[in-house]
Structure 1
Amino acid sequence: MLTNAFRALLLCAALLTGYSPSADAQTIDPFEHGWVLDAEASKLRFMSVKKGNVAETSKFATLSGLITEQGKAQIRVLLDSVDTNIDLRNVRMRFLFFEAFNYPEATISVQLDPAQLRDLHDVRRKFVEVAYTLSLHGVTLEKTADVAVTLISNDRVAITSTAPIAIKLDEFNLEGGREKLQEAASVEIVPVGVVSFDFVFDRAAPGTPPSSAQLTAAPAGASAALETKGEMDREACVGRFEILSHTGNINFSPASARLDPSSYPLLDNLYDIVNRCPSLNIEIAGHTDSDGSDATNQALSERRAGSVSAYLAAKGISQGRMRVVGYGESRPLRPNDSAANKARNRRIEFVVLN
């Protein structure tokens, strides 16, 4: 009787004060209200190995993410925000490796199992294997990863990789990017990247479940390695033009100087760089493979360089800042003995003149 009377007294006190014993506790539903990524507290890193044993760790500065009330988790990675701590290395990664002008983001999708996490409010930390879908560089693949899910507080949770995640570059058509990096930096790079992550989520407010619109509207983080605005100094300009010469993403119709529309994203980035280096003049040089006569290749290389110049001029770059030249087949990067090598020899290069 005394116990029942005491419980009744507690209940009356709770009703009078407005206190609810469950107000500060997570319900049995691990996805209640949904969750939103805390981008500043979250980290996505990848490690690459060059020269046989030199490991470099980089990160992405701009992330967004959510977990819906149904347990669907999504992470969006802005590839332009790749941060290696070195400006021109960032530019190489963006233009040569990730080709962010064509593939601006990567996405990670996971359907979390509520049954695996229903007791998270009791145990606080669980180790689970999750199946995830990674979309990167135009390729979408399903994989698995071992993660730890930690309930930091009733309204904050961390999802962390517990083992290195190996990403084979050839699975995502990134082998060509690795070759361009090797050529530009004169180093040998291992064809596997190792990824780790620490994603921190905050519970959404009741009645405001997260939506996919929050993924695309995410602002850049304070440490974002995005391209800064305004004019660049000579070193930054020269380095960028050299890097753009290695992209191989300026394409033409066969045996023609007509620009293929697939070239426009890179050319728009090129325009931005030329525009932000207003004191510099550049040489736009066309090169061909050895197919066809010397005279034909010489003329074709000149016309292709002219098409690039015309594109930039149409966007507002003065013709007086651009010198158009063609070298035909006289300066090959590689022997013209295979289709792949010939493709690398057909190119547009950029050189600062002053």
Structure 2
Amino acid sequence: MLRLTISILTVLFLFLRPALAAGPFEHGWQLNTESSAIRFISIKKGSIAESSRFAAFSGSISEQGDAKIHIALDSVDTSIDLRNVRMRFLFFETFTYPEATITARIDPDQIADLAAVQRKQVDLPVTLSLHGVEAQLTAPVAVTLLGKDRVAVATVQPIILKLEDFALNPGREKLEEAAGVTITPVGLVSLDLLFDRTAPGSAAVPAGTVTAGAAAALEASGDFSREACTGRFEILSRSRSVNFAPSTARLDANSRGFLDSLSDIIRRCPGMIVEVGGHTDSQGKAAWNMALSEKRAAAVNSYLRKTGIPAERLVSVGYGETTPLVPNNTVQNRAKNRRIEFKVLN
């Protein structure tokens, strides 16, 4: 879906050229976020389609014809608060991959006749960067000239993204476990974008700037309700994003982004005491596993205290191998059982 956005931006800037005596990219172009939309459809249970969108994104086209769109993945908006949280933490893993980008170099020859035809379809090569993976795509878009300083770009049909191409299948599996449903391993993305020529002398929006079009999709400031806190801790417990060096209680450096996000949530659940529970698989002796789980829970507790969470708000407990999620009969199942869970105690 992100790739679609970029393709649209590039096309818009291209066809603007024929409408003006000056070059098509003179002064550059800015994405009008208030009048644009980036949506995606997921399919669960084989036939139920759910439409979501991103509320915060920005885009521009340089005077050289380089187009780029930034999408804040934290702004995913499913219209349901805890579903948004699942998408952020379980699927997109925004604590590690906060943004998706779409880039393209626009060839003016593709839209040389736009002024005459007013609307045309263009196959635009774009680069989509999502979840740590960069892929080359071709996005068919319809470009409509609305005036010498305004252009609309829209996907002709939803763009199909295979989740496996962006290492998103593990996140899909976590969503399936959390929601108790099957999810088709593809996403259908559509873009509806409006670009305005940058006014001469005005400052361009810095690269990477994200504009919030709908704050409701973003984490509101202030404290969460008890229900919202409990739901968030249940979701974060399914993330399996707290990892350790094998057979030790030494936190993996890649766990820090997740734990920093967790710390922010705990801070916004005032007065609540949170249990940090350590769990292992059944490999090795039970006593050794119990001790390891206690040390790992204590390591997470210690990290959270260093972020400013008061010690009296955290309780670390080791469960060893006593509460497996699934049988310890495969490598994959044992990985699921080695985990850190969080829950509200009072």
Using structure 1 for the length normalisation, give the TM-score.
0.90
Matched, 1:184 2:178: yes
For 1:330, which of 308, 322, 328 is the aligned residue?
A: 322
Shift of 1:338: 2.4
Match of 1:17 in 2: none
Match of 2:234 in 1: 242
User: Residue 33 of structure 2 contacts residue 211 of structure 2 at CA under 8 Å; is this kept in 1?
Assistant: no
| Alpha-carbon distance in 2 for matches of 1:135, 1:304 | 34
Q: Higher relative contact order by CA 8 Å / sep ≥ 6: 1 or 2?
A: 2
Matched, 1:219 2:221: no
DSSP 3-state at the match of 1:96:
helix
Shift of 1:32: 2.5
| Alpha-carbon distance in 2 for matches of 1:335, 1:38 | 52
Rate the CA distance shift 1:317–1:214 in 2: closer, same or farther, 3 A. Answer: same
User: Residue 29 of structure 1 contacts residue 118 of structure 1 at CA under 8 Å; is this kept in 2?
Assistant: no
| Alpha-carbon distance in 2 for matches of 1:168, 1:337 | 30
Letter in 2 for 1:141: A
Match of 1:22 in 2: none
Task: Tell me how many residue pairs correspond in the alignment.
Answer: 328
| Alpha-carbon distance in 2 for matches of 1:289, 1:222 | 43
Identity of aligned residues (%): 57
| Alpha-carbon distance in 2 for matches of 1:121, 1:69 | 19
| Alpha-carbon distance in 2 for matches of 1:312, 1:223 | 28
| Alpha-carbon distance in 2 for matches of 1:128, 1:224 | 34
Letter in 1 for 2:187: G
State the structure with more CA Rg.
1
User: Residue 47 of structure 1 contacts residue 194 of structure 1 at CA under 8 Å; is this kept in 2?
Assistant: yes
DSSP 3-state at the match of 1:179:
helix
| Alpha-carbon distance in 2 for matches of 1:63, 1:27 | 30
Listed as ranges, the matches of 1:140-219 within 5 Å are 140-207=134-201, 210=204, 214-219=206-211
Using structure 2 for the length normalisation, give the TM-score.
0.92
Q: Which runs of 5+ in 1 are unaligned?
A: 1-24
For 2:262, which of 270, 291, 299 is the aligned residue?
A: 270
DSSP 3-state at the match of 2:323:
coil
Shift of 1:223: 4.2
RMSD after superposition: 1.4
Letter in 1 for 2:31: L
For 1:86, which of 80, 102, 108 is the aligned residue?
A: 80
Matched, 1:48 2:48: no
Shift of 1:275: 0.5
DSSP 3-state at the match of 2:34:
coil
1:113-133, CA deviations, whole angstroms, 9 ceiling, x for partnerless residues?
Answer: 101112222221111111111
| Alpha-carbon distance in 2 for matches of 1:161, 1:132 | 13
DSSP 3-state at the match of 2:217:
coil
Shift of 1:219: 2.9
Listed as ranges, the matches of 1:333-344 within 5 Å are 333-344=325-336
Match of 2:94 in 1: 100
| Alpha-carbon distance in 2 for matches of 1:217, 1:209 | 13
Runs (4+) of structure 1 exceeding 4 A deviation are 207-210
DSSP 3-state at the match of 2:291:
helix
| Alpha-carbon distance in 1 for matches of 2:324, 2:117 | 63
User: Residue 301 of structure 1 contacts residue 328 of structure 1 at CA under 8 Å; is this kept in 2?
Assistant: yes
Letter in 1 for 2:222: G
Rate the CA distance shift 1:223–1:323 in 2: closer, same or farther, 3 A. Answer: closer
1:100-145, CA deviations, whole angstroms, 9 ceiling, x for partnerless residues?
Answer: 0000000011222101112222221111111111000000000111
Match of 1:232 in 2: 224
